[in-house]
């Protein structure tokens, strides 16, 4: 996992480069390389920062439209600062269950960061024929129903599983160094090492713990 940080970057700006940032990157980057300019839908939620990192990467890589759907005002504002189109929905999952497209949607790429059954169904149903959805949440519930018939006729791909940060880090760091993608915009709280226990109790999107380098 060890890679040098580009000289132009502050290490604190890429505090999640070993985990959450590449987790967001892998949901959109390979597909935008395959389909340049493709529209992207992101369903935000329980995987708070990952969906936002995905939104920022999608914008940086030239998606023609990045729609970010969420209930949380803080995350919606962050998505807008990253260049995405924020779409606020009511609390609860009823909206997701009722408002998915009846047939094929318009997105070639979708991301479920809600970690909910309704969220992943919405992301799947919103795909255009041949599209790909990546789920980044933990799906602990049993008997989750997927729209298999629509997925079949749409030739839909659903990818779930852990990310492989090391394989993506060289390209990701290059993208961040270009400043087209600024992951530090997702950080909502920077706390000292001593304040870490209290910081992680805060109800906020992204906490970064910072220990200044010792002076020699």
pLDDT, tens only, 197-215 = 999 999 999 999 998 775 5
Per-residue model confidence (pLDDT) at position 214? 55
3-state class of 159 per DSSP? strand
Cβ pair 32, 180 in contact under 8 A: no
C-alpha 40/C-alpha 18 separation (Å) is 24
pLDDT band at residue 109 using 50, 70 and 90 as cut-offs: very high
Give domain 16-160's CATH superfamily: NAD(P)-binding Rossmann-like Domain (3.40.50.720)
Cβ pair 28, 58 in contact under 8 A: yes
Mean pLDDT in residue range 110-117:
95
Domain boundaries, the chain: 16-160
pLDDT band at residue 138 using 50, 70 and 90 as cut-offs: confident
C-alpha 6/C-alpha 26 separation (Å) is 21
Q: Comparing 81 with 142, which gets the higher pLDDT?
A: 81
3-state class of 41 per DSSP? strand
Q: Does pLDDT of 92 surpass 80?
A: no
Give pLDDT tens digits for 156-181.
999 999 999 999 999 999 999 999 99
DSSP 70-91: ES-HHHHHHHHHTT-EEEE--S
CB-based contacts of 197, cutoff 8 Å, min separation 6: none
Q: Does pLDDT of 59 surpass 50?
A: yes
Cβ pair 45, 115 in contact under 8 A: yes
Instruction: Label the pairing between strands 66-70 and 40-43.
Output: parallel
């Amino acid at each position: 996992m060890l890679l040098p940080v580009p000289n132009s970057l502050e290490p604190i700006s890429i505090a999640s480069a070993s985990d959450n940032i590449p987790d967001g990157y892998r949901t959109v980057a390979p597909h935008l390389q395959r389909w340049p300019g493709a529209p992207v839908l992101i369903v935000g939620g329980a995987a708070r920062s990952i969906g936002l990192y995905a939104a920022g990467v999608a914008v940086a890589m030239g998606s023609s439209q990045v729609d970010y759907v969420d209930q949380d005002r803080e995350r919606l504002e962050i998505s807008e600062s990253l260049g995405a189109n924020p779409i606020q929905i009511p609390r609860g999952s009823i909206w997701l269950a009722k408002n998915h497209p009846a047939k094929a949607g318009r997105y070639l790429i979708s991301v479920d960061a809600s970690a909910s059954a309704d969220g992943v169904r919405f992301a799947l149903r919103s795909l255009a024929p041949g599209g790909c959805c990546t789920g980044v949440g933990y799906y602990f519930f049993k008997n989750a129903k997927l729209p298999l018939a629509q997925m079949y006729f749409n030739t839909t791909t659903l990818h779930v599983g852990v990310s492989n940060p090391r394989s993506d880090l060289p390209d990701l760091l290059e993208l961040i160094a270009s400043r087209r993608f600024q992951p530090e915009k997702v950080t909502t709280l920077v706390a000292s090492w001593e304040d870490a226990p209290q910081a992680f109790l805060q109800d906020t999107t992204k906490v970064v713990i910072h220990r200044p380098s010792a002076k020699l």
